[in-house]
Structure 1
Amino acid sequence: MLKNKKNNKVMKLAAITILFIIVQGCGENVDKSEKKDNAITALSLDDKVESHIHDNSTHTHTSKRILKPEDTQQLWIFPESKDKLGSGGLLQIYMDPESHPDASSGFSKYELGIGGALPEHKHNKTEEIAYFLSGTGIVISYENDERKETIVKEGYVWYTAPGEWHSFQNTGNEPLKLVFATVPNAKHGLLDFFKNVGVEPGTEPSNTLSAEEFAKLASDNDLILKPVKID
């Protein structure tokens, strides 16, 4: 009888020992699995970081990050003569597709002379964001096909979406100055149009284009002139 009790106790102890070993083994496997998963996750994150770093390193970074006034391309737009800007505009191009091909937008400064104005036009692909630095003028826009004139001055921001007819005029007694961004920074856009019609300061303006040729040049560079109504 005592022998049977002893045998039962030994068997119970053996069973508990085996169960403990099995549970411990499972815990180690789970631990190893978690460590493996963590290692895979870490590797995956490392790959992403390395990939991101690699992507950044493939950019040329040849474009200037800090631009001074002397870095700009300066043009006279519709000057009165080679010696006088008059009611024309002084354009300073800081960023365009040539200087900053990886940039999302172009960036320029424009000074419109006293009494100056741009013809009403629209851009099918380009949006513009302008900030007025000084001077006084009016912005021409359309709401429900109704022409609207809004007075603008220092501190005003002007946004124009693609497809919207617009223009602006200098109504003050000093140049109307603004900086503006063009999005996207694409070739054959507004800045390319200005490059084609503008001249370097002190250069004789060119008047060789006919009205039809001028309109085509504008259209080819996403600047569509508003048809003039004849009463």
Structure 2
Amino acid sequence: MKLSQIDPHSRPTMTFDWGTVKWFVQPDTTPGATLSFGEVVLNPAKGHERHNHPTAEEVLYVLSGTGEQMLDDQEPFLVHPGDVIYVPQGMYHATFNTGWSPMRLIALYNPGGAEERALAELPDYTELPPGSVPTFTRSFGNG
């Protein structure tokens, strides 16, 4: 197997109403990979609503920002940079950015592949080609 360094600019960016995801390693794009590894950015006051991954476990690592994490339909708890969240296969969970700045997380799916394809089926999904930079619009008031 050829070892490779992955240029983040060579990967497309998934965009949603709540933020963006860039997958650096995926079974579909990285020869020999069985997991998926990428960065998630949650916009301020936005989040990834309650969902589950029927075929994969997930690990989240908070790089920056503050938020609330819900696991297994229990009360949400605060998360901060350096926190690690393990989500077993099939468990319902949600992540919400409670801060004023973007919340950045590393996400890992094991096994990878199916969960990213499911994200691409969400109604607010748009893919930006490699090298493109997402743009955001500002809203006023409570929206």
TM range (shorter): 0.7 to 0.9
Higher relative contact order (CA 8 A, sep 6+): 2
Residue of structure 1 aligned with 2:99, choices 164, 172, 188:
172
State the Cα distance separating 1:150 from its structure 2 match: 1.1
8 A Cα contact 1:138 1:171, kept in partner: yes
Q: Partners of 1:124 and 1:69 in 2: how far apart? A: 28
Taking only the aligned residue pairs, the percentage that are identical comes to 24
Mapped pair 1:181 → 2:108: yes
- Tell me: CA distance 1:124–1:193, structure 2 relative to 1, closer, same or farther (3 Å): closer
Deviations 1:84-141 (A, max 9, x none): xxxx211111112221142121111010001101121112211001111000000001
Match in the other structure for 1:77: 16
Amino acid of the structure 1 residue aligned with 2:20: L
Amino acid of the structure 1 residue aligned with 2:49: P
Q: Provide runs of 4+ in structure 1 moved above 4 Å.
A: none
State the Cα distance separating 1:180 from its structure 2 match: 0.9
Alignment gaps of 5+ in structure 1? 1-58, 79-87, 203-231
Amino acid of the structure 2 residue aligned with 1:190: E
Deviations 1:56-101 (A, max 9, x none): xxx5x3xx621122122212112xxxxxxxxx21111111222114
State the Cα distance separating 1:171 from its structure 2 match: 0.4
For these two proteins, the number of residue pairs brought into alignment is 127
TM-score by length of 1: 0.51
8 A Cα contact 1:136 1:151, kept in partner: yes
Q: Partners of 2:59 and 2:29 in 1: how far apart? A: 20
Task: State the SS of the aligned residue for 1:193.
Answer: helix
Match in the other structure for 2:70: 140
Mapped pair 1:90 → 2:29: no
Q: Partners of 2:32 and 2:66 in 1: how far apart? A: 34
Match in the other structure for 1:46: none
Q: Partners of 2:83 and 2:4 in 1: how far apart? A: 26
Task: State the SS of the aligned residue for 1:148.
Answer: coil
Match in the other structure for 2:118: 193
Which protein is richer in helix relative to its size? 1
Mapped pair 1:124 → 2:34: no
8 A Cα contact 2:62 2:79, kept in partner: yes
TM-score by length of 2: 0.80
Task: State the SS of the aligned residue for 1:140.
Answer: strand
- Tell me: CA distance 1:163–1:181, structure 2 relative to 1, closer, same or farther (3 Å): same
Equivalent residue runs for 1:1-16 within 5 Å: none
Task: State the SS of the aligned residue for 2:119.
Answer: helix
8 A Cα contact 1:139 1:152, kept in partner: yes
Which protein is richer in strand relative to its size? 2
Q: What CA RMSD, in Å, does the superposition of the two structures yield over aligned residues?
A: 1.7
